[in-house]
């Protein structure tokens, strides 16, 4: 068993680009659900909106890449209005139903053949982010990679991670500041009881729209970072499973806490990738033959088994620490009253 290899994987993935993407999407979802009580089951739709904003700006409109980021943000705002205006007047469940459907509709629409010239349809959009990498401060002649202890990073990855974690830090800061302000107080009050908020003279619908838009844009930034990292926008990377992984991230961290999506995302990716390497090592060394037989573990089902194991962990968490890592049990108990 090569523990060094496992640890390397845990650290590099736990702080890698995927963790950044999930942290951003989680910060957005946490604003929706954790603070405002909006049931958004289509966060991946906002990620796709952001990603396709950048991609389409370069590919279809032939804009400058950096303006593409603005287009991505505009797409997210548009999506928030589109989803929010008709559904936010209704009960919370309607938003949930609409968002999950909308996120699938977006995926199917962008991969539709008729959109080939705009979205690249099922081939997607590739190599659109060169200007992003042109500014890479880690680029140096000769070597393309950096070694820290036993981690090795490509210069491009380091650049994405630097920008990514900086954006995460900014979003955490903004969330923290907003949630301690009177604005955040109104959101939390809406989560508890919307009618009471309206009776006290606040336009609850407007606040819910603002929260949906803000969380959507932050989720969109996550989507942008994901496609910039891959230099490729692919419709099928934005499938509904991603939304539920992001829910997992904020539940692990504890809903309604500023840091929870960040720590949740790190733990999620560290565990998922650590588990994968661990199971592969197990297969190679034959150290756990009985265990392998019990799970019928083989090379082709390792990635399924790792999610099974993660699911089991999640169930145990719900049983023994339902408030997540940062949540407060005292606060959670108030739900039962």
Binding site for another protein (CB under 8 A): 174, 177-178, 181-186, 188-189, 191-193, 195-204, 210, 214, 256, 330-331, 334-335, 337
Question: Which C-beta is closer to another protein: that of 130 or that of 331?
Answer: 331
Distance (Å) of CA 263 to CA 87, 130, 141, 156? 31, 30, 35, 24
Tell me how crowded residue 145 is: count the other CB atoms within 10 A of its CB. 12
Q: Name residues whose C-beta falls within 8 Å of residue 53's C-beta, 6 or more positions apart in sequence.
A: 68, 69, 70, 71, 72, 73, 74, 75, 76, 220, 224
Q: How far is the CB of 217 from another protein (least distance, A)?
A: 12
Q: How far is the CB of 325 from another protein (least distance, A)?
A: 18
Nearest to 10 by CA among 267, 269, 275, 270: 270
Question: Which C-beta is closer to another protein: that of 147 or that of 337?
Answer: 337
Tell me how crowded residue 127 is: count the other CB atoms within 10 A of its CB. 9
Question: Which C-beta is closer to another protein: that of 186 or that of 258?
Answer: 186
Residue 126: strand pairing partners? 232
In this structure, what token pair is assigned to residue 70?
A: 């603005």
Determine the longest span between alpha carbons in the chain, in angstroms: 67
Question: Which C-beta is closer to another protein: that of 211 or that of 225?
Answer: 211
Question: Which C-beta is closer to another protein: that of 89 or that of 116?
Answer: 89
Q: How far is the CB of 174 from another protein (least distance, A)?
A: 7
Q: How far is the CB of 90 from another protein (least distance, A)?
A: 15
Q: How far is the CB of 23 from another protein (least distance, A)?
A: 21
Q: How far is the CB of 203 from another protein (least distance, A)?
A: 5
Distance between CA atoms of 277 and 3, rounded to whole angstroms? Answer: 9
Q: Show the DSSP H helices in the chain as ranges.
A: 3-14, 17-29, 43-59, 65-87, 92-110, 116-119, 130-134, 155-179, 182-192, 194-199, 204-230, 240-253, 260-285, 289-295, 302-320, 329-333
Question: Which C-beta is closer to another protein: that of 154 or that of 180?
Answer: 180
């Amino acid at each position: 068993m090569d523990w060094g290899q496992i640890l390397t994987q845990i650290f590099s993935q736990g702080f890698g680009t995927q963790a950044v993407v999930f942290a951003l999407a989680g910060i957005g979802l946490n604003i929706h659900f954790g603070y405002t009580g909006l049931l958004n089951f289509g966060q991946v739709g906002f990620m796709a909106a952001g990603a396709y904003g950048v991609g389409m700006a370069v590919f279809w409109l032939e804009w400058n890449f950096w303006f593409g980021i603005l287009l991505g943000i505009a797409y997210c705002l548009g999506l928030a209005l589109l989803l929010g205006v008709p559904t936010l007047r209704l009960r919370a469940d309607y938003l949930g139903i609409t968002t999950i459907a909308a996120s699938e509709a977006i995926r199917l629409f962008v991969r539709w053949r008729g959109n080939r010239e705009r979205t690249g349809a099922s081939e997607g959009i590739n190599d659109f982010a060169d200007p992003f990498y042109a500014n890479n401060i880690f680029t140096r002649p000769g070597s393309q990679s950096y070694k820290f202890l036993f981690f090795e990073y490509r210069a491009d990855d380091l650049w994405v991670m630097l920008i990514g974690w900086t954006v995460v830090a900014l979003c955490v800061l903004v969330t923290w500041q907003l949630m301690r302000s009177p604005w955040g107080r109104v959101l939390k009050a809406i989560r508890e009881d919307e009618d009471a908020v309206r009776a006290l003279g606040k336009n609850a619908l407007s606040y819910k729209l603002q929260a949906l838009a803000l969380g959507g844009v932050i989720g969109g930034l996550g989507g942008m970072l994901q496609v910039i990292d891959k230099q490729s926008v692919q419709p099928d990377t934005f499938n509904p499973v991603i939304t539920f992984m992001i829910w997992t991230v904020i539940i692990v961290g504890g809903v309604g806490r500023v840091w929870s999506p960040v720590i949740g995302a790190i733990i999620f990716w560290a565990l998922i990738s650590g588990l994968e390497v661990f199971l592969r090592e197990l297969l190679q060394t034959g150290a756990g033959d009985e265990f392998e037989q019990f799970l019928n573990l083989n090379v082709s089902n390792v990635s399924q088994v790792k999610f099974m194991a993660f699911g089991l962990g999640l169930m145990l968490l719900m049983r023994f620490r339902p408030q997540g890592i940062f949540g407060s049990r005292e606060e959670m108990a108030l739900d039962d009253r």
